Amino acid sequence: MKKKKALITGITGQDGSYLAEFLVAKGYRVVGMVRRSSSINTHRIDSLYEEPWIRDRKMELVYGDLNDASSINRIVRTVRPDEIYNLAAQSHVKVSFEIPEYTSEVTALGALRILEAIVASGVKTRFYQASSSELYGRSRQVPQSEKTPFRPVSPYAVAKLFAYWTTVNYRESYGIFACNGILFNHESPRRGETFVTRKITRAVARIKKGLQDKLYLGNLDAKRDWGYAKDYVEAMWLMLQQRKPDDYVIATGETHSVREFVDEAFRCAELDPKKHVRIDKRYFRPIEVNVLKGDASKARRELGWKPKTSFKELVRLMVRADLEALDREGR
């Protein structure tokens, strides 16, 4: 049987790296779109290079940018992927208040550019859009499901709202097999260092090794539904294997405050957070999303997907990975 080909935007990010590994293991040929950077930023997919996968042409990288329609058109036309996973975004909520226009260009119009390229090229492909629980923002409903009205409260979330509806619109207008995965927060040792979970586990490891003394954080009362990224990429793939395209919430169904995450992470390293954690106003946002808690029963029912990793296991594996990384550096 012919190998399936998948195009991943955002392959150098947390989710892109796990998805690439998952698809290669499933026998896909993966093409990753990367943007030009002055320094090497492919550390999350380095392990893929060390495998014989590259030699066997199981994965290749091509230059492109979500802000450059011509590169997207060229890639879609020449690669002719069976599946496209649009994971690229300016994905930091707090930063989106500082660069709102750029965030909209990449995160909102980027999705539109890919969908337009699909229509213009006539390539028969399935499309996954990385939608977000940030869409719910200040929604009054808890837990949030596919039926909960959206109420986005950041430039990032508003951009994701545009991309969400554009995906639905192209599905309904052109019959494209296009799906939104409404993923709640998911973390891992590969999480960017400025997102709160990784900022905490990295600091815990550094404090344990005597490399740092204080950890400065913002709002500790916000609550999130935190899952493990490795579990979540399988849900993306499952969505594109269904008979009909649809939108799905992916979540654990549990919510925990940032404070709980802090306490658990410090407990894992037998440290006292009171001695090390300080509040810094710099890390507060102009408006906060207070509580996110997902209801993923549709995904469980229709995709057969459920999370495999508990909150405590997630915190533990992240702290352990950050400690081991310092050991490897000889710290």
Site for ligand NAP, rule CB under 6 A:
9-10, 12-16, 35, 37, 41, 65-67, 87-91, 106, 130, 132, 183, 185-186, 192
Cβ 142 to ligand GDD shortest distance, Å: 14
Answer yes or no whether residue 310 interacts with ligand GDD by CB under 6 A.
Answer: no
Q: How far apart are CA 177 and CA 20, in angstroms?
A: 21
- What phi, psi does 192 have (nearest 5°)? -55, 145
Tokens of 61: 């990288």
**Which residues between 133 and 172 bind ligand GDD (CB under 6 A)?**
133-134
Residue linked to tokens 């492109």: 64
Given 91, 96, 104, 132, which residue is catalytic? 132
Tokens of 72: 């997207």
Please confirm, yes or no, whether 156 is among the known catalytic residues.
yes
Q: How many helices (H) and strands (E) would you count in the chain?
A: 13, 13
**Which residues between 195 and 254 bind ligand GDD (CB under 6 A)?**
195-196, 199, 217-219, 222, 224
Binding segment (CB under 6 A) for ligand GDD, from list 191-199, 248-256, 263-271, 318-326: 191-199
Q: How far apart are CA 249 and CA 232, in angstroms?
A: 11
Answer yes or no whether residue 194 interacts with ligand GDD by CB under 6 A.
Answer: yes
- Decide whether 55 or 278 has the Cβ nearer to ligand GDD: 278
Tokens of 136: 């719910």
Q: How far apart are CA 80 and CA 6, in angstroms?
A: 9
| Other CB atoms within 10 Å distance of the CB of residue 118 | 24
Residues annotated as catalytic (active site), given as ranges: 132, 134, 156
Q: Where do contacts with ligand GDD occur on this chain (CB under 6 A)?
A: 91, 93-94, 132-134, 184-185, 194-196, 199, 217-219, 222, 224, 258, 283, 285, 288, 292
